[in-house]
């Protein structure tokens, strides 16, 4: 017996996420054992090169003066791509260009993506097997259907036929065998994110140890059929396979000899493809007319990385939005009130599954002493920091954000207590006669509101005899010192990769995790995380995660600060934005439209 979901002929437009049509087109049945999901896709081969060439000329010519304006009254009959008179008459229309200010992505290779700035670009170029709705439910992507064995150990995926890489070659099951296996090779296993979520696949340990040349649990059963076998049940597998890092890549492009590496000249099968790159400050993506879920509504995306400034990329993006040089921007909190009053700009709230924190390198003296770390946690006045700019923030009571399994509102964090912090420092051997050496805290170049919050933090720590030197640097430099484990302390925000506690607790605190930036090691934490990963008992799993959270917070490799929302400013003529708790890097830009009539816009989250 199987579960079947059939998709009607509603066309290529997605509902909430890539691959899902409107609810009226879905028929659902439920039963035990095996699950099957189906959706029709286009198998028409299309080579985008010729179409792109003309578009790139237009985009490149516009880079010197990147103005984006809304429709004026005289344009009402010329908005072709939005269904107005020009489209009906067949007259040519201007390209729809979406401009966005973004920190420079360190890579465009999905297997190496580890931050939102790379992922937001990568998500437009590549496609994984599975997608997620805005409710984080798995839906078809390159896989049009899948079945799951009754014991939860065997997954069989049937691929859409006719899906093509941007180089014109059809995507086959063997490409996923290559792409998923690649995640467990170096440097992708240690520097990427996906391997830690997929290590339940049969044969992974043998492959990593060099005992096998292939991963036994990843097999092509045919040209369009892929099998993934697990050594233990893992309910989050589909979510893990929806990661950008698990996207399919063509072997011939990855391994091609030449001066330009794949990470700089990527080839995927997503809704957009790389059309032009100017140094490190401009990336232009062009719409893929042969995209298997339908041609994007906009013609191109331009990602700008501005020159380093004192206020950071968000402030520069917000200023560009006001000038008409960007279509959307992340808004710093100190600019929220100003933007709420702008007549041609809408402000929406993007609720993330996220944690902002101060990280501590537990191997760097004097921070290798847990008493020093605990003193820092006790001295930091998190409530005062929150109260300065509270919009969209919730004070963290632990590590896991509200909305994630195993979350508890019970306080596990240290309460502000500078007197106890001083006593803790004294017990570690530091006091008036032997003060704690000044500690450097690395942070990304910040806007005014962040700097004001940082000043409160530094002042509260100083009251307890803990002196902090703030060092603001570009995101690229901060990323380098964090991943290299060179920073004593650092400020970071972590957004969930999948809707599972492992995305915070295992990814950040398992001793061998590639993203354990704290160099934190605790055998009990590792054992509890292993129990949580291997058990099929939901209660046992959740209790193990809660025990891990308590133990980590008390060991203080980090000080949890806030669970934050992202505030986004949009031009009034931009529509199609769909929010997702996994962060703005998951934004499906092929749904965006410029100049769409107001009455046709989809509902979006309102400000509180």
pLDDT of 601 higher than 60: no
Tokens read off for 270: 């997503």
The answer on 557 and 428 residing in a single domain is yes
Q: What does pTM read for this prediction?
A: 0.79
CA proximity to 347, closest of 356, 336, 355, 357? 336
Domain that includes residue 177, residue range: 2-42+130-244
CATH of the domain at 155: 3.90.76.10
Q: Is residue 540 part of a domain?
A: yes
> Which of 244, 263, 284 lies at the terminal end of a domain, its last residue?
244
Q: For residues 398 and 536, state if they share a domain.
A: yes
% of the chain with per-residue pLDDT over 90 = 63
Long-range contacts of 154-157 (CB under 8 A, 24+ apart): 154/227, 154/228, 154/229, 154/230, 155/227, 155/228, 155/229, 155/230, 155/237, 155/238, 156/221, 156/225, 156/226, 156/227, 157/129, 157/225, 157/226, 157/227, 157/228
Q: Are residues 167 and 33 in the same domain?
A: yes
Residue at 501 is within a domain = no
Q: What is the DSSP string of 147-200?
A: EE-TTS-EEEEEEPTT-B-TTSPBP-HHHHHHHHHHTTSTTHHHHSSSGGGSTT
Task: Answer with the one of 244, 267, 289 that is the final residue of a domain.
Answer: 244
pLDDT band at 207 (very low <50, low <70, confident <90, very high): very high
pLDDT at 38: 34
- The pLDDT of residue 160 is 97
Residue 329 domain-assigned (yes or no): no
Closest CA to 244 of 525, 580, 528, 600: 580
**Does a structural domain hold residue 81?**
no
What CATH code is carried by the domain that includes residue 555?
A: 3.10.105.10
Quick one: 20 and 159 in the same domain? yes
Cβ atoms of residues 351 and 567 within 8 Å: no
Q: Residue 217 falls within a domain, yes or no? A: yes
| Per-residue model confidence as pLDDT tens digits over 445-473 | 878 889 999 999 999 999 999 999 999 99
Task: Give the tens place of pLDDT for each residue, 172-183.
Answer: 999 999 999 999
Structure tokens, 453: 């919050």
What is the model's pLDDT at position 93?
A: 60
- Whether residue 378 sits in one domain with residue 233: no
Please check the confidence at residue 238 and state whether its pLDDT lies above 80: yes
Question: Residue 528: phi, psi to the nearest 5?
Answer: -65, -40
Task: Give the domain-ending residue among 176, 211, 244.
Answer: 244
Determine, yes or no, domain membership for 468. Answer: yes
Nearest 5°: the CA angle 295, 54, 328 is 55
- Is a pLDDT exceeding 80 seen at residue 62? no
305 lies in a domain? no
Whether residue 112 is predicted with pLDDT greater than 50 in this model: the reply is yes
Query: Do 232 and 370 sit in the same domain of this protein?
Result: no
**Which two tokens mark 450?**
């962040």
Total tally of structural domains belonging to the chain: 2
pLDDT in tens, 500-509: 999 999 999 9
The mean pLDDT of the chain is 84
pLDDT of residue 9: 27
- pLDDT of res. 446: 76
Q: Check: CB of residue 511 under 8 Å from CB of residue 526.
A: yes
One DSSP character per residue, 449-475 reads HHHHHHHHHHHHHHTTT--EEEEEE-H
Residue 535 has pLDDT above 90, yes or no: no
C-alpha distances in Å from residue 266, one per residue of 125, 141, 432: 8, 19, 57
CA 484-487-493 angle, to 5 degrees, is 90
In a domain, 306, yes or no: no
Residue 413 sits in the same domain as residue 535: yes
């Amino acid at each position: 017996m199987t579960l079947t979901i059939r998709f009607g002929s509603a066309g290529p437009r997605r509902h909430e996420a890539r691959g899902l049509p409107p609810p009226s087109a879905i028929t659902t049945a439920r039963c035990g054992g095996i699950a099957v999901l189906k959706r029709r896709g286009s198998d028409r081969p299309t080579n985008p090169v010729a179409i792109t060439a003309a578009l790139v000329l237009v985009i490149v010519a516009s880079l010197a003066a990147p103005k984006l304006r809304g429709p004026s009254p005289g344009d009402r009959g010329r908005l072709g791509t939005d269904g107005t008179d020009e489209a009906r008459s067949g007259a040519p229309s201007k390209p729809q260009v979406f401009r966005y200010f973004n920190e420079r992505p360190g890579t465009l290779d999905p297997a190496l993506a580890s931050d939102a700035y790379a992922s937001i670009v990568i998500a437009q170029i590549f496609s994984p097997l599975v997608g997620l709705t805005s409710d984080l439910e798995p839906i078809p992507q390159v896989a049009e259907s899948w079945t799951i064995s009754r014991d939860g150990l065997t997954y069989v995926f049937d691929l859409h036929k006719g899906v093509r890489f941007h180089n014109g070659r059809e995507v086959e099951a063997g490409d996923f065998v290559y792409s998923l296996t690649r995640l467990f090779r170096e440097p992708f296993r240690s520097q990427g994110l996906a391997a830690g979520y997929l290590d339940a696949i049969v044969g992974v340990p043998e492959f990593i140890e060099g005992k096998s040349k292939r991963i036994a649990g990843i097999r092509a059963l045919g040209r369009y059929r892929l099998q993934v076998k697990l050594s233990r049940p893992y309910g989050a597998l589909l979510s893990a396979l929806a990661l950008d890092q698990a996207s399919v890549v063509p072997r011939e492009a990855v391994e091609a000899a030449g001066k330009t590496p794949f990470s700089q000249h990527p080839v995927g099968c997503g809704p957009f493809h790389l059309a032009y790159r100017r140094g490190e400050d401009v990336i232009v993506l062009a719409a893929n007319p042969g995209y298997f879920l339908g041609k994007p509504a906009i013609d191109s995306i331009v990602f700008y990385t501005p020159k380093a400034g004192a206020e950071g990329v968000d402030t520069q993006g917000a200023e560009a939005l006001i000038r008409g040089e960007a279509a959307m921007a992340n808004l710093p909190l100190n600019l929220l009130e100003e933007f709420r009053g702008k007549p041609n700009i809408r402000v929406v709230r993007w609720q993330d599954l996220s944690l902002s924190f101060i990280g501590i390198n537990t191997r760097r003296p004097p921070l290798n002493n847990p008493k020093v770390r605990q003193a820092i946690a006790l001295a930091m006045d998190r409530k005062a920091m929150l109260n300065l700019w509270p919009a969209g923030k919730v004070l963290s009571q632990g590590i896991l954000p509200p909305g994630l399994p195993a979350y508890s509102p019970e306080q596990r964090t240290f309460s502000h207590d500078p007197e106890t912090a001083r006593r803790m420092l004294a017990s570690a051997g530091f006091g008036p006669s032997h003060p704690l050496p000044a500690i450097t805290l690395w942070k990304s170049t910040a806007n005014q509101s962040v700097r004001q919050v940082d000043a409160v933090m530094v002042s509260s720590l100083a009251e307890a005899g803990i002196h902090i030197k703030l060092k603001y640097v570009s995101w690229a430099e901060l990323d380098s010192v964090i991943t290299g484990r060179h920073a004593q302390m650092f400020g970071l925000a972590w957004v969930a990769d999948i809707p599972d506690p492992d995305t915070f607790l295992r990814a950040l605190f398992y001793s061998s995790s590639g993203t354990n930036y704290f160099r934190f090691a605790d055998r009990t934490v590792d054992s509890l995380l292993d129990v949580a990963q291997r058990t099929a008992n939901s209660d046992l799993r959740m209790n193990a995660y809660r025990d891990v959270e308590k133990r980590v917070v008390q060991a203080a490799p980090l000080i949890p600060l806030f669970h934050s929302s992202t505030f986004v400013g949009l031009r009034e003529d931009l529509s199609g934005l769909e929010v997702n708790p996994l962060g703005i890097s998951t934004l499906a830009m092929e749904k965006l439209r410029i100049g769409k009539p107001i009455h046709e816009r989809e509902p979006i989250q309102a400000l509180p």
